[in-house]
């Protein structure tokens, strides 16, 4: 989803930051940070991530209270179990802005669950029920190939790769994949001005992460940091450095963007700041987990044209984007 936080225009100033140009380092410290050797990391398979995206889309829009939604949730859980991860479901009912009660579940899958030093990978697995930014089909459901399916697909491929190389992470390191439901059923005050928002001033988005942050599974969960993946599959994606991520976890932003740069993915992970957005990381940060948001979101604070339209389908999914995100996150995990 995401509503823009209401930022003053001044907050949008100062867009371009540093670049990772070799030979332009001001201090020995930055030089060391930028040239640190990357950890030995297995390959993230983009074909596999693409197939996971297509599989979810093939179920149909994953809108809460539909059969496609239930089937997709079962399939995601089955995949994690197949790779040997410990899976927990967190069922809950959420009241939506239109009064519907959404039968929802968050999915938590833990790799190496006994390890004390943990990284959280977050995504949402539901689909927005209407293409409200579409010019013609505003009430049509959307495929959510990038918005929803791609983040889950990258998480599943990360789980598959980890499971295929037992004991390859540093000793004591584990990873948790936490997939939120009912993230994208929110009220958009611009495109849905003709509708009534029964939730009033409450946040109508991110219902799964709101629930989870107040009822954490696992209890007292304290990973080192978290990475939220949202809209990470579209061709030509631009991941700019979102405001709340920079505020709450500046070191994680630096680590992820520098890793992407070293891997040659700077055309996706751009060194430009973006304003804050309302996404699941708002609630994970509120729960004390320092979380960044890797999100296809322009420095201007705008989304690209496919967002919340029927164009968000498999035709925009690009293996290179999935690879850039997946290989970067995997390398960061192997560096823990
Ligand atoms: Zn969305």
For ligand 1, the distance from its centroid to the CA atom of residue 46, given in whole angstroms, is 23
pLDDT for residue 35:
60
Q: Is 317 contained in some domain?
A: yes
| Surrounding residues of ion ligand 1, Cβ less than 5 A | 1, 147, 184
For ligand 1, the distance from its centroid to the CA atom of residue 27, given in whole angstroms, is 41
For ligand 1, the distance from its centroid to the CA atom of residue 72, given in whole angstroms, is 17
For ligand 1, the distance from its centroid to the CA atom of residue 148, given in whole angstroms, is 7
Per-residue pLDDT of the chain in tens (336 residues, 90 and over written 9)? 555 543 433 344 433 343 334 443 444 455 445 567 999 999 999 999 999 999 999 999 999 999 999 999 999 999 999 999 999 999 999 999 999 999 999 999 999 999 999 999 999 999 999 999 999 989 999 999 999 999 999 999 999 999 999 999 999 999 999 999 999 999 999 999 999 999 999 999 999 999 999 999 999 999 999 999 999 999 999 999 999 999 999 999 999 999 999 999 999 999 999 999 999 999 999 999 999 999 999 999 999 999 999 999 999 999 999 999 999 999 999 999
Q: What is the CATH number of the domain that holds 220?
A: 3.40.630.10
For ligand 1, the distance from its centroid to the CA atom of residue 293, given in whole angstroms, is 13
Q: Is 290 contained in some domain?
A: yes
For ligand 1, the distance from its centroid to the CA atom of residue 25, given in whole angstroms, is 38
Q: Is 4 contained in some domain?
A: no
For ligand 1, the distance from its centroid to the CA atom of residue 307, given in whole angstroms, is 7
pLDDT for residue 18:
39
For ligand 1, the distance from its centroid to the CA atom of residue 315, given in whole angstroms, is 17
Within a 10 A sphere around the Cβ of 139, how many other Cβ atoms? Answer: 9
pLDDT for residue 204:
96
For ligand 1, the distance from its centroid to the CA atom of residue 39, given in whole angstroms, is 33
- Domain enclosing residue 114, as ranges: 9-334
**Largest alpha-carbon pair distance within the chain?**
57
For ligand 1, the distance from its centroid to the CA atom of residue 217, given in whole angstroms, is 24
Q: Is 2 contained in some domain?
A: no
Q: Is 254 contained in some domain?
A: yes
pLDDT for residue 26:
43
For ligand 1, the distance from its centroid to the CA atom of residue 147, given in whole angstroms, is 5
Pairing of strands 117-124, 225-230: parallel
Q: Is 166 contained in some domain?
A: yes
- Give the Cα separation of 209 and 214 in Å (integer): 9
For ligand 1, the distance from its centroid to the CA atom of residue 10, given in whole angstroms, is 26
For ligand 1, the distance from its centroid to the CA atom of residue 82, given in whole angstroms, is 28
- Give the Cα separation of 183 and 255 in Å (integer): 27
**What is the count of structural domains for the chain?**
1
Q: Is 1 contained in some domain?
A: no
For ligand 1, the distance from its centroid to the CA atom of residue 256, given in whole angstroms, is 23
For ligand 1, the distance from its centroid to the CA atom of residue 126, given in whole angstroms, is 9
For ligand 1, the distance from its centroid to the CA atom of residue 333, given in whole angstroms, is 26
For ligand 1, the distance from its centroid to the CA atom of residue 40, given in whole angstroms, is 34
pLDDT for residue 3:
55
pLDDT for residue 36:
76
Q: Is 3 contained in some domain?
A: no
């Amino acid at each position: 989803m995401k509503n823009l936080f209401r930022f003053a225009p001044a907050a949008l100033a100062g867009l371009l930051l540093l670049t990772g140009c070799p030979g332009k380092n001001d201090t020995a410290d930055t030089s060391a940070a930028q040239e640190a050797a990357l950890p030995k990391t297995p390959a993230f398979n983009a074909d596999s991530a693409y197939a996971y995206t297509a599989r979810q889309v093939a179920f149909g829009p994953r809108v809460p209270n539909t059969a496609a939604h239930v089937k997709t949730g079962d399939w995601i859980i089955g995949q994690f179990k197949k790779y040997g991860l410990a899976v927990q479901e967190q069922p809950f009912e959420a009241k939506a802005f239109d009064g519907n009660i959404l039968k929802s579940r968050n999915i938590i899958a833990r790799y190496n669950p006994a390890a004390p030093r943990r990284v959280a990978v977050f995504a949402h697995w539901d689909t927005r029920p209407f293409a409200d930014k579409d010019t013609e089909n505003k009430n049509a459901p959307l495929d959510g190939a990038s918005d929803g399916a791609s983040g889950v697909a990258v998480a599943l491929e990360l789980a598959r790769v980890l499971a295929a190389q037992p004991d390859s992470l540093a000793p004591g390191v584990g990873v948790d994949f936490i997939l939120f439901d009912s993230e994208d059923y929110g009220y958009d005050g611009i495109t849905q001005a003709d509708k009534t928002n029964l939730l009033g001033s409450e946040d109508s988005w991110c219902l799964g992460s709101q629930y989870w942050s107040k009822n954490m599974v696992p209890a007292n969960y304290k990973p080192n940091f978290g990475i939220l993946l949202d809209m990470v599959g579209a061709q030509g994606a631009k991941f700019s450095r979102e405001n709340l991520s920079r505020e709450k976890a500046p070191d994680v932003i630096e680590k992820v963007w520098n890793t992407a740069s070293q891997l040659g993915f700077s055309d996706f992970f751009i060194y430009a700041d973006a304003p804050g957005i309302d996404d699941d990381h708002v609630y994970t940060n509120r729960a004390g987990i320092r979380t960044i948001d890797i999100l296809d979101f322009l420095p201007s604070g705008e989304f690209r044209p496919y967002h919340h339209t029927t164009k968000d389908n498999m035709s925009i999914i690009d293996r290179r984007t999935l690879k850039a995100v997946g290989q970067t996150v995997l390398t960061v995990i192997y560096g823990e």
